[in-house]
Structure 1
Amino acid sequence: MNASTIDLTAKARWVWLETLRIHRRAPETRLASSLSPIEIFVSLYYGGILRFDPAQPLAETRDRCIISKGHGSICMYPILADLGFFAREELEHVCETGSFLGGIPDPVIPGYETVNGSLGHGLGVATGIALGLKRKGSDRDIFVVAGDGELHEGANWEAAMFASQHRLDNLNLIVDNNRISMLGHTDDIVSHGRLADRLGAFGWSCAEVDGHDVDAVHAALRAMQGKRNGAPKALIANTLKGRGVPGLEDAPLCHIMNPKVETLDQLLGEAP
């Protein structure tokens, strides 16, 4: 794919609409969590950041993308279908009996690397993969997309220390920093203030960006891509949970809320 010919802003808008359509058909999917990382995934998959082959999802030549916040990646379904990982018709059957597209994705879906149901493990898994590839002399990159709420899990900080200790500069963490976990704002539970500084203290090279400015996200990822200076890298993408949906956007309990069908229909232009 020639990334220079892709209008990332238009593609992000399309993914946003398709994610609403999926949730309209399958309300058991987590909508709010899946709207905040759209620009991250669009930049990775359409912006020439990730190296992948839809015809061979597990090819050794691929970069690895570990989606740690699995429940919040329903927006990946239209991306993978659009890129040819599976047929677009599958999007009509999310959460139906017999469909491999469930409410929480797993590796049965072409394009997913890991089981993502139990939060807080993606960074550790990605760190192990990064070490293994580095020992093999591979030049492939490993990206892990994590939610800020799951950083409450201590295993992430063990992985952060390990990655720095072993100079895993092929490892790239992207934090979907929407500042809301299941039961409220993270600052009211365990604050993640100055997250870049915290990771920097662990020996990581960090940057911060508006996570809904797709061009800024893409530029930041491009700067991270292939950078080898002995330090693992992190991008803090500041986002809004439930972005663009009235009553859902940035609401403290949006993680477990569903918008009214009428609201979805209006946003999709399907209102009578």
Structure 2
Amino acid sequence: MNLGVKDLEVKATEVRRGVLDMVYRSKAGHIGGSMSSIDILTTLYYNILNIDSKKFSDLGRDRFILSKGHIAEALYYILADRGFFDKEKLKTYSKYGSTLIGHPNNKNNGVEVNTGSLGHGLPIAVGMALAGKRDNKDYRVYTLMGDGEQAEGSIWEGAMAAHNYKLDNLIGIIDRNRLQISGTTEEVMALGSLKDKWTSFGWEVVEVDGNNIEELVKIFSKIPIKKDKPTMIIANTVKGKGISFMENKAKWHHGVLTEEEYKKATKELEGGHLNE
């Protein structure tokens, strides 16, 4: 699938609307981080990734790992929309006995690995990318991390390994919305210049507006940006993007919507795609 920018913008709004329904219906989920990440996920799954729901186990497929696994609802919606499983299953999200639990679960087609313990996604992606290099495969491995997740030591072990093995088939993405469950990232664990940090670890680093799909398409289309170097994309985003009362509010890292809030959010999202 290779949607154009305008169609991707419309699709991103559709995904936001679907995730809103899932979270409201289940009274669970991490809606703020889902909303900030949806433009990134939409660009990847509808324009960039070499994947096919009918041949999910194909050895040449691209791999995507959702390291910030608490936004599983966004990934589940997109996988269902891409045909990896029936959309009706989305109604079971976070219900007893469902495989659509609160963090990615590889009992669902399209989920490469179980994630949710922060800091694990990048090291796993490094292993997958290294395997691709050694097997002479041309697939790419993408992993989406949170910015609060950058405080995990395993992230930096993976960063060193990726540089050491010259993994230019590895693409890291940081959802830089500057908020985590207990406040701003700079209050909880100051990150300073993430660009400088990742550059010092030997990565090719670019910063983009992570809620601007046109920018995202341009950057992802240039990968690998530099031969023999892994790529890190720092995507500056807005937590709760698209729902006015959620935007830039740490309380919506995880929150249960009232009926009134659900109706207001629905009305805003049904007003048209965000970048018009």
* Paired position in structure 2 for 1:21: 21
Gaps of 5+ in 1: none
Code of the residue aligned with 2:69 in structure 1: it is G
Note closer, same or farther for the CA distance 1:158–1:2 as it changes in structure 2 (3 Å cut): closer
Code of the residue aligned with 2:149 in structure 1: it is E
* Paired position in structure 2 for 1:187: 186
Alpha-carbon RMSD: 1.7
Q: Distance in 1 between matches of 2:2 and 2:210?
A: 23
SS of the counterpart of 2:144? strand
Residues 63-83 of structure 1 deviation map (CA, whole Å, 9 limit, x = unaligned): 110110111231122211111
Residues 79 and 110, structure 2, Cα contact 8 Å, conserved in 1: yes
1:165-184 aligned within 5 A: 165-184=164-183
Code of the residue aligned with 1:123 in structure 2: it is L
The structural deviation recorded for 1:56 is 2.4
The structural deviation recorded for 1:5 is 8.5
List 4+ stretches of structure 1 deviating above 4 A: none
* Paired position in structure 1 for 2:44: 44
SS of the counterpart of 1:236? strand
TM-score by length of 2: 0.92
The structural deviation recorded for 1:4 is 4.0
Which of 233, 236, 241 is residue 235 of structure 1 equivalent to?
Answer: 233
Residues 118-159 of structure 1 deviation map (CA, whole Å, 9 limit, x = unaligned): 111100110011111111111110001111111100110111
Note closer, same or farther for the CA distance 1:3–1:257 as it changes in structure 2 (3 Å cut): closer
Q: Distance in 2 between matches of 1:262 and 1:102?
A: 26
Q: Does 1:57 align with 2:67?
A: no
The structural deviation recorded for 1:227 is 4.6
Q: Does 1:35 align with 2:32?
A: no
SS of the counterpart of 1:258? coil
Note closer, same or farther for the CA distance 1:263–1:232 as it changes in structure 2 (3 Å cut): same
Task: State the percentage of identical aligned residues.
Answer: 38
Residues 23-66 of structure 1 deviation map (CA, whole Å, 9 limit, x = unaligned): 1101111111211100111000111x111110122221211101
* Paired position in structure 1 for 2:246: 248
Gaps of 5+ in 2: 269-276
Q: Does 1:123 align with 2:122?
A: yes
SS of the counterpart of 1:212? coil
Q: Give the structure with the larger helix fraction.
A: 2
Residues 70 and 105, structure 1, Cα contact 8 Å, conserved in 2: yes
The structural deviation recorded for 1:269 is 3.7
Code of the residue aligned with 1:32 in structure 2: it is G
Q: Distance in 2 between matches of 1:107 and 1:30?
A: 19
Q: Distance in 1 between matches of 2:61 and 2:259?
A: 39
Alignment length (residue pairs): 268
TM-score by length of 1: 0.93
Residues 8 and 43, structure 1, Cα contact 8 Å, conserved in 2: yes
Range with bigger deviation, 180-189 or 3-12: 3-12
Note closer, same or farther for the CA distance 1:55–1:75 as it changes in structure 2 (3 Å cut): same
Residues 32 and 252, structure 2, Cα contact 8 Å, conserved in 1: yes
Code of the residue aligned with 1:260 in structure 2: it is T
1:1-272 aligned within 5 A: 1-4=1-4, 7-47=7-47, 49-224=48-223, 226-227=224-225, 229-269=227-267
Higher relative contact order (CA 8 A, sep 6+): 2
Residues 6 and 46, structure 1, Cα contact 8 Å, conserved in 2: no
Residues 66 and 122, structure 1, Cα contact 8 Å, conserved in 2: yes
Note closer, same or farther for the CA distance 1:223–1:21 as it changes in structure 2 (3 Å cut): same
Residues 29 and 104, structure 1, Cα contact 8 Å, conserved in 2: no
Q: Distance in 2 between matches of 1:161 and 1:24?
A: 40
Residues 204 and 225, structure 2, Cα contact 8 Å, conserved in 1: no
Q: Distance in 1 between matches of 2:24 and 2:133?
A: 43
Residues 170 and 228, structure 1, Cα contact 8 Å, conserved in 2: no
Code of the residue aligned with 2:239 in structure 1: it is K
Residues 3 and 46, structure 1, Cα contact 8 Å, conserved in 2: yes
